[in-house]
C-alpha cells in the first residue's frame, strides 16, 4: 500500500528549487528566460506564424505608397518620408494581437494547466511569449525599412535616428502586447481574442496620422486622430527617422507605453491565476 504526501512549502526539490509561494527575483528571471526560450523554439517549428509580419510590410509599403502618394504629396517619392514611419508603426501595432491568440490556444490545449502545477513564477508563462514576440516585431520593422530603402527613401535622421525609431516601435509593440495577453486570460476562445484584437487595432491604426495629414480631416475626426496614442508614436517615429529629433512626442510615447505595462501586466497575471 502506498500513500501520497504533499510537499510542504519551503522544502527543496531535487532540482534545488524551493517550493515557495513567492519566488525570488532571480527565480522569476530564470523562469521567464526558460519560457522565452520555449516560445522561441515554437516559433522556429511553426514558421507560418511569421507570414503576417513578412508579407504585410511588403504589401502595405507598396500599396499605400503608390495608392496615396500622388494624391497626398504629388508623387510616391515625396510621400515616402511621411508614409514610411506611419506604415512602420501601423504594421508593428497590428502584429501585437497575435500574441493573445497564441496564448489562448495554449491555454485551450491545457498547457498552462501544467504550468500552474509547477513551482514557477506566475508571470513567467505570460512574460516569456511576450518577450519572444519581439522577434516578430523586429522582423516586420526590418522588412518595412528594407522595402522603403529599395523604393528610394533616404531617412534624414541617419543611422542613429532610424535605430532609435526601431527601438521605440519594438518597445511600443511589446507594451501593447500586454493588453492582448490580458485578453487571453479573460476571453474563452482564441477566435474571440483574435476578433477583439482586430476590432481594437484596425480602427486605432487607420484612424491615426499614419497615412493622412489630420489637417485634411473633419474637426471631430481630427480631434480623435490627434488624441490617438498611436498618432503620438508615429509623430515620434517621424521626428527620429526624418530629422533625428528627440521630441516631446517621444517622451509621451514612452510614458504611455510604461503606463500600459503597469496596468495590464498585473491584470494579465491576476487573470491567469484566477481563471485558468
In the chain, what are the domain boundaries?
Answer: 25-35+50-275
DSSP code of 12?
A: B
Q: Are 149 and 56 in contact (CB under 8 A)?
A: no
Note down pLDDT in tens along the chain; length 276 residues: 444 444 444 444 444 555 456 777 787 888 888 888 888 887 777 776 677 778 888 988 888 888 888 888 888 888 999 999 999 998 898 888 888 888 888 787 777 777 777 777 778 888 888 888 888 889 889 999 999 999 989 999 899 999 999 999 999 999 999 999 999 888 888 888 888 888 888 888 888 888 888 888 888 899 999 999 999 999 999 999 999 999 899 999 999 999 999 999 899 888 877 755
176 in Cβ contact with 89 (< 8 Å) = no
Q: Which of 126, 44, 144 has the alpha carbon at shortest distance from 89?
A: 144
The three cell numbers locating residue 237: 517615429
Amino acid at each position: 500500500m502506498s500513500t501520497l504526501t504533499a510537499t510542504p512549502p519551503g522544502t527543496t526539490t531535487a532540482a534545488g528549487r524551493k517550493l515557495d509561494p513567492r519566488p525570488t527575483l532571480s527565480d522569476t528571471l530564470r523562469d521567464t528566460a526558460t519560457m522565452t526560450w520555449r516560445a522561441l523554439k515554437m516559433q522556429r517549428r511553426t514558421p507560418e506564424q511569421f507570414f503576417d509580419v513578412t508579407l504585410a510590410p511588403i504589401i502595405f509599403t507598396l500599396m499605400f505608397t503608390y495608392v496615396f502618394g500622388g494624391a497626398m504629396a504629388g508623387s510616391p517619392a515625396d510621400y515616402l518620408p511621411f508614409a514610411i514611419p506611419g506604415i512602420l508603426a501601423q504594421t508593428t501595432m497590428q502584429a501585437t494581437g497575435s500574441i493573445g491568440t497564441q496564448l489562448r490556444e495554449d491555454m485551450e490545449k491545457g498547457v498552462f494547466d501544467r504550468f500552474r502545477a509547477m513551482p514557477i513564477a506566475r508571470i513567467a508563462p505570460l512574460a516569456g511569449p511576450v518577450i519572444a514576440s519581439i522577434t516578430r516585431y523586429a522582423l516586420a520593422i526590418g522588412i518595412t525599412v528594407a522595402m522603403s530603402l529599395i523604393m528610394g527613401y533616404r531617412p534624414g535622421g541617419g543611422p542613429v535616428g532610424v535605430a532609435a525609431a526601431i527601438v521605440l516601435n519594438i518597445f511600443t509593440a511589446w507594451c501593447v502586447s500586454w493588453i492582448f495577453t490580458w485578453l487571453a486570460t479573460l476571453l474563452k476562445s482564441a477566435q474571440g481574442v483574435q476578433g477583439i484584437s482586430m476590432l481594437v487595432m484596425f480602427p486605432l491604426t487607420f484612424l491615426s496620422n499614419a497615412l493622412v495629414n489630420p489637417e485634411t480631416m473633419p474637426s471631430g475626426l481630427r480631434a480623435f486622430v490627434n488624441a490617438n496614442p498611436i498618432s503620438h508614436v508615429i509623430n515620434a517615429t517621424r521626428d527620429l527617422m526624418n530629422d533625428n529629433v528627440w521630441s516631446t512626442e517621444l517622451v509621451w510615447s514612452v510614458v504611455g507605453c510604461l503606463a500600459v505595462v503597469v496596468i495590464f501586466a498585473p491584470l494579465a497575471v491576476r487573470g491567469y491565476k484566477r481563471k485558468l
